[in-house]
Copies of this chain bind each other. A is one copy, B any other.
Amino acid sequence: MDNLDRGIIDLLRQNARASYGDIGGSVGLSASAVKRRVDRLVADGVIRGFTIQVDPTVDGYNTEAYVELFCRGTVAPDELLRILSGVPEVVDAGTVTGSADAIVHMRARSIPALEDALERVRIAPNVDHTRSAIVLSRLIHRTHD
């Protein structure tokens, strides 16, 4: 993982379909040297996958919320993970400092679908209550992963 790898990663972040030749031209390597490094980065798990960024308003998943989770007593991160894994509307979640135990970013196709997903989160044994902030307008979506 040297500066060459970082350069390759930066270029792939901007365009995951760039040819190895083009990448090599930018970082100063031959196409095959670049391919070898990319293969290694994928094998090592540094590059987790190649994907596209899709306009969320187009595929219908344009109803979002940030939800604070308040649990009873102490809750192990593993347990929260188990609960949240079962709800596909959960895009992103982490335990946090502050009064809430976790913050959950959810995305659904509609308000009813969001409410339904929220219900599935809330029904979990140790969840005491939640506080949701519905997203009115999306400002930034720098999805570098």
Contact = CB atoms under 8 A, between A and B. Distances in A.
Interface of A: 1, 6, 9, 12-17, 45-56, 58-59, 61, 64-66, 77, 80-81, 84-85, 88, 90-98, 100, 102-105, 131-145
Nearest to A135: B94
Contacts of A77: 136-137, 139
Nearest to A97: B134
Contacts of A47: 52-55
A95 B136 contact: yes
A56 B92 CA distance: 13
Given A84-B139, A91-B142, A94-B139, 17 more contacts: A9-B54, A14-B49, A16-B16, A16-B17, A16-B52, A45-B58, A48-B55, A50-B52, A56-B145, A66-B103, A85-B140, A92-B105, A94-B140, A96-B133, A98-B131, A98-B134, A102-B139
